């Protein structure tokens, strides 16, 4: 993770007792940059909406013992929340980031072109998709081929079980989300292969 501004989708899940799970997902890569359990950060959201797209400045302080503090701020410096990672958590977090950077490169050098879900998606699907469905769609986009929108890894189309492994999610959750996304036309299925609907994606 660098200290630059990221375009992200921010998802909020109410855990009850005024506690929330907030996930910050990179729009371009589908990578979860930060997961945070804590009090609500109301400034991040508009009204009662539990998903929003924002530009956020994400930076980290690294301490001598390996611990880290991650800062999530607006581009003009307003702090939304901070997350502290122990040395052990920092080690896992760094390895996860490195793995996310390298996945799918194969023999190519540098960053590959990516598919990204359009910002208008949230508005187009308002009332049709839950915040969890939208977050799943953004993460699924990081598995889509740039040329066709096919959900694949190293050119091989992925079935639901393989998608669940790639996304580190349960098969039940993947199946539920895919069925919902198919019903609203966000993804299509052809010959047991899944494609993102080009209407809702852009190439980067």
Share of the chain above pLDDT 90, in %: 14
Q: For the domain made up of 115-203, give the CATH fold.
A: Arc Repressor Mutant, subunit A (1.10.10)
Query: Which one, of 14, 23, 32, lies nearest residue 52 by Cα?
Result: 23
Contacts of residue 127, defined as CB under 8 A and 6 or more positions apart, other chains included, come to: none
Query: Which one, of 51, 33, 32, lies nearest residue 168 by Cα?
Result: 32
Q: What 8-state DSSP symbol labels residue 168?
A: T
What do you get for the CA distance between the two ends of the chain, in Å? Answer: 19
Q: Which residues pair with 84 in a beta bridge?
A: 69
- 109-120: per-residue pLDDT in tens? 344 455 556 656
CA atoms of 35 and 11, how far apart (whole Å): 10
- 124-183: per-residue pLDDT in tens? 777 788 777 877 887 787 788 877 889 998 889 999 999 988 887 889 989 999 999 999
Give the ranges where the chain is alpha helix by DSSP (H). Answer: 87-102, 120-124, 131-140, 160-166, 171-184
Burial profile 127-151: b = 16 or more Cβ within 10 angstroms, e = fewer:
eebebbbbbbbbbbbbbbbeeebbb
Residue that has been written with the tokens 């994606």 in this structure: 201
- 23-59: per-residue pLDDT in tens? 888 776 667 788 888 765 667 776 666 777 888 988 8
- 73-121: per-residue pLDDT in tens? 888 888 888 888 877 766 655 554 444 433 443 333 344 455 556 656 6
């Amino acid at each position: 993770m660098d200290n630059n501004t990221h375009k992200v989708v921010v998802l909020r899940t109410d855990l009850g007792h005024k506690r929330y799970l907030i996930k910050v997902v990179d729009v371009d890569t589908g990578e979860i940059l930060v997961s945070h359990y804590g009090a609500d950060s109301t400034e991040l959201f508009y009204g009662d909406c539990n998903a929003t797209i924002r530009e956020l400045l994400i930076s980290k302080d690294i301490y001598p013992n390996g611990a880290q503090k991650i800062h999530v701020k607006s581009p003009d410096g307003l702090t939304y929340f901070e997350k502290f990672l122990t040395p052990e958590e920092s080690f896992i977090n760094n390895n996860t980031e490195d793995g996310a950077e390298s996945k799918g490169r194969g023999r190519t050098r540098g960053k590959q072109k990516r598919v990204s879900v359009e910002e208008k998606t949230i508005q187009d699907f308002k009332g049709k998709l839950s915040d969890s469905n939208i977050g799943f769609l953004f993460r699924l986009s990081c598995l889509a081929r740039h040329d066709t929108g096919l959900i694949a890894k190293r050119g091989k189309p992925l079935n639901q079980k393989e998608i669940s492994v790639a996304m580190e999610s349960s098969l039940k959750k993947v199946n539920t989300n895919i069925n919902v996304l198919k019903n609203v036309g966000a993804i299509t299925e052809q010959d047991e292969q899944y494609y993102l609907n080009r209407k809702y994606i852009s190439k980067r």
